[in-house]
Amino acid sequence: MSSHDAYAYYAKMVGLSRNTVGACVSELVDRGILWIALENERTLVRKAKAGVRKHILLVGLGVVMIEQMHENERS
């Protein structure tokens, strides 16, 4: 699953600034929860560039959810 919406769109959806959304996406990329891929290229980037079409991929979200589920089962 991927999304190619602009950060400004996400900001409007959640009521945050575009800069805050960008910082949050960067942190999720650093944690391995999200990947950013450039459109029409087979390239992953650490940070999106303004005006460049990109796709945000939710690759690590499932891993985090499974880890949390196992942690809850142990409690």
Residue 50 has pLDDT above 80, yes or no: no
Q: Could you tell me which residue, 43 or 16, shows the higher pLDDT?
A: 16
Facing residues of 38 across strands? 54
For 41-67, what is the mean pLDDT? Answer: 84
pLDDT tens digit string along 2-42? 787 888 999 999 999 999 999 999 999 998 889 999 888 88
Return the SS3 of 54.
Answer: strand
Q: Are 22 and 48 in contact (CB under 8 A)?
A: yes
For 64-75, what is the mean pLDDT? Answer: 88
Q: Which domain holds residue 68?
A: 2-74
CA proximity to 41, closest of 30, 51, 32, 54: 54
Q: Are 60 and 66 in contact (CB under 8 A)?
A: no
In total, how many domains does the chain have? 1
Residue 70 tokens, joined: 């196992």
